[in-house]
Each structure stands twice: as structure tokens, then as C-alpha cells.
Structure 1
Amino acid sequence: MIEIWLERILAFGLFWGIWLMVPLLVDVSTAMVYFISFLNNRKQKVEKKEELFFFPYVTVIIPVHNSADTLGHCLDSIARQTYPRESIQVICVNNGSEDESFDIFQRFQYRHPEMSVMWSSLERAGKSIALNAGVYSGHGSYMMNVDSDTWLDPDAILNVVRVFEKDPSLAAATGSIRVDKKLGEGSSFIDMINYCEVIEYIVAFDIGRRYQDLKNSIFTLSGAFSVFRRDIILQTFLYQTRTVSEDTDLTFNIRQAIEAGEGRIGFISDAIAYVEPIENLSRLYSQRLRWQRGEMEVTGLYYEKIPGIFGALFDFVGRILISDHTLAFSRLAWTFLLPFLFFLGYPLPTIVVAMIGMYICYIILESCTFYIAYKGSAPEFQKELQKIWWIILFMPIYRYLVYWFRLAGIIAALTEEKSWKTQNPVMQLQSILQAYAGELKEEISKRRQVNS
């Protein structure tokens, strides 16, 4: 009798253990890499920042499209920089704005006559075109792109120039992006989504990008805030419109341009920029779908031959594709097959216990992630993070939601034409039903005319 029970327990453990480990495998391995990177960073001695005695000219390019609500904040953050204002050139490139963005710019120009600021308008709308126009118009040794809904930490430009001047091999770099959200002041569903974003961005940039910097494997120079040596970016095709992820496309283009030399693409952790939190699920869906689709499109352009499974493990792009693309479909099978086991005769309590067990595993994983984000933050921000420690319980749900949005990006890359703007699934379904209803009414009308 005991042997039978032991055999059942072993079979139960093996079967459900596999179910638990398959979807957790990539997440646990990623967390371990982040944690090891975090421990290595803590062991490293903090280097004393060198004083700058020469301040090279820096051109800040801001693409503007209906940015009246945020452009003023963005420009004011540049005016508050600790870097000398006389060494900063600001170029706002308007691409099809229909609001009061130009009025905001004029008021800023009037308040800061000591700064070199310029407004340029293009007949053809498009962020890539606007950024390229700014690059060609700029005179700085360093070209910095900043989105109009992004604002810089006061030391951002100074810290960027320090790193570039110290490391001549650095061809381009991305800064650390943070979500500008007051923590602990709200508890609505969108507030919880925003808190999850805060943790996600801290880990992705301050841990993930730092690890990529050490391995020289930066995948994307963030479109919200990145910096380039002028002579390097002019060797590329600049920003292109052939994908929905022009920043990732340019990153790969720069990597090709510097392969012959000793240049590298890096990450500057103390050059911080802040972005607005997502205001609704539709925006989150559109953003993550575009990111995932862009990843697929860019890798498809730059990989003439797709590496095999073992070759991909030794290539940083291959590892990212395995994580974000290949394993996405195994998670899809797991999602639908686990509930379906009930119809195959498995007891409902057993399935529920397995799902609860998986949720607990992810809670443990997210606790480790939160700890990394907490310990890697400044003391004053640690106090803010303490206010939302409970978000750990919601993080697995947020990750699962984002997974489905990213999966939609994979499907869109395979089935739909390129588009920077996307509708959420509800609006897409409404559009389809409305179009079908219109066709049905038209068909009924034609038949009535024939019968009459």
C-alpha cells in the first residue's frame, strides 16, 4: 500500500512539477542572471566621478507631435541641467502637430534667451524623419534624442558627457529610464499597473541594461533617451521607417558600423530620464505590441541566417528571441491545456492546487525581483518603494497580461502590415463587427432592390 502511494506521489510530483517548471524556466533563469549581476555590481568599488574641464557641445533633439501637455516640462528639465547652458543646443522638430506645441516652445525661448534653441517644422509627419532632420541640423559633438514626453534628471547631460569623455570606445549609449509615478498615493487598477511599471523599469534598466553593458549586448538604444557620437551616427542610415522600432533598427545599424573598430554600445546608469506612466490598458497594449513586433522585424532584417537552437544560446540576440518568441508559444499551450485537463478527467481541486502552486512560485520570483529593485535604488527612493511592497502580489498578473500583449505583437508581425499605431483587441473586434454589419446591410439593400 505504501509503495502504491509513493508511486502516486512521485508521478504527481513529476507531472505537475514539469507543468510548473516549463513556464517558470526562462523567468527564473533571467532573474538569476539579474541577481548575479546585481551582486557583482555591489562588490565593485564606486569610482570617483572625474571633473570636466572641457564641456563639448551637446545637441538635444526633441521630436514634437501634439506635445503641448508635456513639451514645457521636457524643455524646463533641459534648462535646469547642471551642464553649462552655453554648451547645449536644443532642436525641436515638429512633425505634424495640430495643437499649441509651438506656443509652448516660444514661451520657453522667451524665458531663456541665453540658450541656443531652434524650432523646425516638417511637411511630412513621422518620428524617424524628425529625428534625422535634427541630426543633420545639429552641431554638437554628441547628439542626444529626448522624447517630448520625457524629462531629464538635472545631472543627466553632465553624467553622459563624463562617461563619453572618459571612454573613447563608447560610440552610443542609452540612459536609465524611470516611470515618474507617485508611489502609494492610489490603489486603483491603473495605479497598480503603474506601480508594476515602476518595478519593471528599474529592473529592466538598472539591472538588465547594466548586465548587457558588461557583455556589450545592448539590444535597444531607448528612443526616449539615448546619446550618440556625431561622427558615428552619421556613418549609419540614421532612423528608418522600415520597422515600427526605429530605435532598435538604429542600434543594430550602429553595431554594424563599429564592428570593424573597437567601439561599443553602452548604458549609463546615472543618466536618468523620466517618462509618464501608462494611462490605460489600451496604451499599454499598443506599446508592448509595438515593442515585440519591432523586435521581430529588426532581427529579421539583420539576420541573414537564423542560428540553430544551440547557436542561438551563444548569441545574445538568439537568447532574447528564445525568451520572447520561441518560449511564448509553449506558454500559450500551457495556458490553454492546463484548464482543459479538467475535461480529460483530472479532478478540479488538483488543477486548482497546481495553479495556486504556480502563482506562489511567481510570488517568490517577484519577491526576489522587488528585492533587487529595492537594494539597487537610492536610499530616498527605497522609502518610496516600501509604500508599495504589496504590489508583489499583483506582479504575476501584470506579467501575464503583458505576455499576452507581447504575443499579439508576434502574431501582428506575421499577419499584419507595419503600423506605428495599433488598436486594442476590443476596438479591433468592434471595427470588424461594424464593417460586417455595414456589408450585411448593403447586401440586404441590394437584394431588396432586385426583388422589387
Structure 2
Amino acid sequence: MKVLTFWDYAFVISMVMTWSVLLYHILLTYFGYRYFLISLDFEEDEEIKEYPFISVLVPAHNEEKVIGNTVDAIARAYYPRDKFEIIVINDNSTDGTGEVLKEKQKLYPNLKVLEIKPPLGAKGKSNALNQGLKIAKGDYILVYDADNTPERKAIYNLVRFIIKDDNLGAVVGKFRTRNKDKNLLTRFINIETLSFQWLIQASRNYFLGLTTIPGTNFIIRKDLLEKIGGWNIHSLTEDTELTIRIYKEGYRIKWIPQAVTWEQEPERLKIWIKQRTRWARGNISVIAQYLKNIFSLRSKIAFDIIYFSYIYLVAFSAILISDIIFGLGLLKVIKLHLGGPLFTIWILAYLLFITETFISLSLERGEGNLKNLLLICLMYFTYCQLWLFVVIRAIYFTLKDRITGKTVKWYKTERSSE
């Protein structure tokens, strides 16, 4: 009889943890599909009879490459011109952002440019949005990143849903990757973002009534936003933190695929790593902040905090352990006595990952093709493994800042040329 070693037990534990996530994602895949069927009827909802006045906030720091197209897209929105204002917060830009905006103001009378300099400015996206909120006249606030080009009916659809349900604190639209065909990295990002929205956003909306606010393409009630104190300037992921505070106030958030914006994703790995490290640091911070008070939260949002804690703690550990064992096995440093059956289980887990991702991706028209299926197969061994590096990097910088007392800084994603 073979004696099981430490590595055998470690691999078994890692597979149990991995499969627990995959099995939960089977449910999410099913619920995402159910929400897809429901969302097909969204277009038949009532038209807007009385248009509320809205304010569209666009924070911008050194965005001369993209801000012009963003303003053009918002200004062309299918919404009465006298019923919305565009407020671009030019946050201490040192490039040609200001000059581009001056030219756009000649074209669009409803475009306002708020220039902020230190000490009021240069404090990150959340601060810029809070400054814009102070001068916003709308009953509802919409937010777009400076690289976004929303489709003509995106704003209309966001407004259409929030005004008919007083229990909705915010409504979130869908975002697509404008530069998805640029290189392999942007193709992976396209798959990731679409599968996330159908697998996580749509499914949780269906069976939990939960949706996470992203950093762009959403609408929120102004009075609610003011009541909860606006955006948290100390949070690296202001969107996730804002989501929790909205739910704590007893409101719901809805995700609708009909409100679409196109955004530019990182085209270089170095920029992607910086962006995702910031996201991971922010999410870890939110988990640490709210997990200790988990029993004081409403049940739905508490469930979400537990889920994301599981992803960052348990799933992360499981993948890291299995990768270490896999690497040591290839180097013949260790040998698993349960290698045969465990390898079969690992292969099945890999196939399940491919199936779940491809099904969720296929809910988006034109994306369920053979090319993307092959990319998903490759994705697990490349793009997904980079997530481990990002989380490790995020933990390192978080601990370093805690030890040194350094203030958290918000980093703007660098843009590529249009």
C-alpha cells in the first residue's frame, strides 16, 4: 500500500477547493443564461414619457488621446439635448486635454469643463467625481471613464430603468472592448470582461438581486449619492466600495445589457499588471474592511463579501498550490502517489472551466466562435495564471504600505492612441 505524502494531501485539498468554486460557477452559468432570456424582453418596456434632467460626469487626467471621442459619443446620445449636461472634470492634466475640451465646448453648449488643480485636484478619480458632483444639476448622475464611447441609446436605457423603480439606487450597463483585436492580451481581456458580466453580473442579478457597480457606464440617484457621502477618496476600487454602501442603505442595483459602452483596454502587459494590481489591492481592502463586520451587513451583500473573500483567499490558494505541485512534478522534485486519479480530476476541472467560460461568452452575439474557444483553452495556462502574480503583487504592496505608513495612491490607466 502506497503511503500518501504531504504533497498528495496538499493536491487533494487544492482540488477540493478548486472544484467548490467550479461547481458554484455551474449555478452562476445557469442563472446567467436565465437572465439572458429575461433580458430579451427589456426592449419592450415602456418608453420614457417625462425625461428627468441628468448630469454625466467624466473624470479626466491627461486624456488628450481619447477625451474628444468620448465627449462626441456622449453628446450624440439619444436623449433631449436640453435635458442633460456633460461635466468633464479636467483633473490637473499636463497634456493637451484642456485644449481638446475647449474646442468641444464650441460644438456642445451643454458641455461644462471643471478645471481642478492642487490642492483641490490631483487626488484621484474619486476626488474628481466628488468635485463634479458639487456642481451637477441633475437628479441623476451618470459616470463614464474618459476612454468610453457609449452607444447612442446607452444613456437613455440607463435612465429608462432607474426612473420606473424607486427601489433601484443605481443601474449598471454593459461594457465592451473597443480594441479587442489589437493583440492577444486584448483578446483575452475581451473574453474575461464579457464572461464576467454574464457569469457574475447577470447571474447574481437573477438569483440574488445583486450587481456590482463598475467604474463606468452607470447611473445613480443624486440624493442617494449625497446621502452616503459621495465617492470614497481613500478606496482604490471606489466602485466596489460604493456598491456596498448603496446596499447598506436598502437600495438595489440592476445590470442591463441594453446600455452598452465601448472602452479601450490595456494593450501592453505592463499597463495591465499595474491596473489589475490596483483592482486587487482595492478588493482586498474592501474585503478586510467589511469581513470583520460581516454580521452587521444585509444578507445579500454579506454573501457577496464572503464569495469574493473565498475567491481571493481559497481559490487563490488552491490554484497556487496546484501550480507549485505541477511545477515540482515536472522537475521530478516530488512524485504524487495519487497522480493518476488526481490528474483525471484536474483535467475535468480544466474542461469545466472551458465550458463555463465559453457558455457565458456565447450569450454575447458574435463571440461564441471557434477562435474564442481556442483562446479560452490557452487562457487558463497564460492569462489566468497572471492573476496569481497580480494578487501576490497586490498583497506585497498592501503590506509594504501598512509597514511604511505610505498613503494609498490612485493610478490612472495609461491610454493608447485611438
Q: TM-score, normalised on structure 2? A: 0.84
What's the secondary structure of 1:234's corresponding residue?
helix
What is the match of residue 46 of structure 1? 41
Greater shift after overlay, 322-331 or 358-367? Answer: 358-367
Which residue, out of 303, 306, 313, partners 1:315? 303
**Aligned residue type for 2:314:** T
Q: TM-score, normalised on structure 1? A: 0.78
Distance in 1, Cα, partners of 2:175 & 2:263: 7
| Contact 1:328/1:407 (8 A) holds in 2 | no
What is the match of residue 416 of structure 2? none
**Aligned residue type for 2:392:** L
Runs of at least 5 residues in structure 2 that lack an aligned partner in the other structure:
414-418
2:409 aligned with 1:419 = yes
Distance in 2, Cα, partners of 1:116 & 1:406: 42
**Aligned residue type for 1:399:** C
**Aligned residue type for 2:210:** S
| Contact 2:57/2:143 (8 A) holds in 1 | yes
Q: CA deviation at 1:242?
A: 1.8
Aligned residues: 392
What is the match of residue 168 of structure 2? 170
2:111 aligned with 1:117 = yes
Equivalences for residues 42-121 of structure 1 within 5 A: 42-44=36-38, 46-47=41-42, 48-112=44-108, 115-121=109-115
What is the match of residue 443 of structure 1? none
2:200 aligned with 1:208 = yes
Distance in 1, Cα, partners of 2:260 & 2:131: 25
Which residue, out of 31, 51, 54, partners 1:37? 31
Distance in 1, Cα, partners of 2:255 & 2:279: 19
Equivalences for residues 218-237 of structure 1 within 5 A: 218=211, 220-237=212-229
What is the match of residue 399 of structure 1? 384
| Contact 2:174/2:255 (8 A) holds in 1 | yes
What is the match of residue 273 of structure 1? 261
What is the match of residue 246 of structure 2? 254
| Contact 2:55/2:84 (8 A) holds in 1 | yes
- 1:258-304 deviation digits (Å, cap 9, x = unpaired): 23xxx212222211112112111111111211111111212322344
What's the secondary structure of 1:144's corresponding residue?
strand
Change (3 A) 1:132 1:99: same
Change (3 A) 1:356 1:194: farther
Change (3 A) 1:314 1:60: closer
Change (3 A) 1:359 1:66: farther
- 1:142-165 deviation digits (Å, cap 9, x = unpaired): 101111111211110110111012
Q: CA deviation at 1:345?
A: 4.9
Change (3 A) 1:295 1:212: same
Distance in 1, Cα, partners of 2:240 & 2:83: 28
- 1:116-175 deviation digits (Å, cap 9, x = unpaired): 111111122122111001111111111011111112111101101110122121011222
2:120 aligned with 1:136 = no
Percent identity, please: 22
Greater shift after overlay, 57-66 or 102-111? Answer: 102-111
**Aligned residue type for 1:164:** I
Equivalences for residues 302-381 of structure 1 within 5 A: 302-305=290-293, 315-341=303-329, 342-345=332-335, 358=346, 361-374=349-362, 376-378=363-365, 381=366
Distance in 2, Cα, partners of 1:415 & 1:354: 38
Distance in 1, Cα, partners of 2:107 & 2:326: 62
| Contact 2:55/2:141 (8 A) holds in 1 | yes
What's the secondary structure of 2:59's corresponding residue?
strand
Q: CA deviation at 1:106?
A: 1.5
Distance in 2, Cα, partners of 1:267 & 1:42: 11
Change (3 A) 1:49 1:313: closer
Change (3 A) 1:242 1:58: same
Change (3 A) 1:317 1:96: same
Change (3 A) 1:251 1:39: closer
| Contact 2:174/2:258 (8 A) holds in 1 | yes
Q: Rg: which structure is higher?
A: 1
**Aligned residue type for 1:117:** L
- 1:231-275 deviation digits (Å, cap 9, x = unpaired): 11010121122221222222222222x23xxx2122222111121
| Contact 1:94/1:121 (8 A) holds in 2 | yes
Distance in 1, Cα, partners of 2:253 & 2:300: 21
What's the secondary structure of 2:380's corresponding residue?
helix
Change (3 A) 1:50 1:207: farther
- 1:403-431 deviation digits (Å, cap 9, x = unpaired): 321232234333334232499xxxxxxxx
Greater shift after overlay, 227-236 or 15-24? Answer: 15-24
User: Which protein has the bigger helix share?
Assistant: 1
What is the match of residue 153 of structure 2? 155
**Aligned residue type for 2:377:** L
**Aligned residue type for 2:18:** L
